[in-house]
Amino acid sequence: MMSLPAHLQIEFTLETAAHDEAVEALSAEAFGPGRFTRAAARVREMTPHDRSLSFVAMRGAEFVGSVRQTRVMVGTRPAVMLGPLAVKPAFKGKGAGRALMAMAADAARLAGETAIFLVGDRAYYMPLGYEPLPARSVLMPGPVDERRILGLALVPGALQGLSGAVGPR
Ligand SMILES: CC(C)(COP(=O)(O)OP(=O)(O)OC[C@H]1O[C@@H](n2cnc3c(N)ncnc32)[C@H](O)[C@@H]1OP(=O)(O)O)[C@@H](O)C(=O)NCCC(=O)NCCS
């Protein structure tokens, strides 16, 4: 679908069930045993991620990293929850993370979605266009540091008034 500089030989495709094992192994490595108690994981227990909005990076047969997205509701409005995003340590810093994020946003926009939110580091996501959401707006089903809830408007104004409990679509 899309490539980083050719010398890196990293290519991107839609996620399929064949990638599940690698995605879950990397998630275990990146986020540790606490990952299942994270608020975002609780959302993903309620509703499966959408493979048409989820991408993997590969170098040949080698798994490099991935991003998943889940279609949810925030209160009465549809939105997309992004995560997990992870890149294997050996491939970090080559732009794979950023490329996965760009693909995720493009796919969501093309699918008619209007907003994406995630729980993550401002320092990584704000340069990609994400902005902090107001406190007590997007209510996750579990403890979360509210300063880490960030949103990306796919159409102008889509983050305004985005509020309510996160739940299945
Ligand atoms: C975050 C992650 C996905 C980035 O993937 P990547 O392919 O290395 O990212 P890119 O190559 O596109 O970007 C790398 C840049 O992001 C920076 N960066 C990485 N993680 C960061 C963080 N948590 N906060 C701020 N900057 C970060 C790097 O320092 C690097 O900066 P540079 O380009 O100025 O050198 C990867 O480091 C990872 O898997 N981390 C563990 C899991 C994780 O934290 N996921 C995010 C969950 S919120």
Give pLDDT tens digits for 52-64: 999 999 999 999 9
Domains and CATH numbers, the chain: 2-168 (3.40.630.30)
Give pLDDT tens digits for 5-41: 888 899 999 999 999 999 999 999 999 888 877 899 9
- pLDDT of residue 3 exceeding 70, the answer is no
Check if 26 has its Cβ closer than 6 Å to any atom of ligand 1: no
Give pLDDT tens digits for 151-164: 999 999 999 999 99
Cα(78)–Cα(69) distance, integer angstroms: 13
Give pLDDT tens digits for 78-131: 999 999 999 999 999 999 999 999 999 999 999 999 999 999 999 999 999 999
> pTM, whole model, 2 decimals?
0.95
Find the 7 Cα to ligand 1 centroid distance in Å: 20
| Atom 22 (ligand 1) nearest CA | 124
Find the 86 Cα to ligand 1 centroid distance in Å: 8
Two structure tokens written together for 9: 């030989």
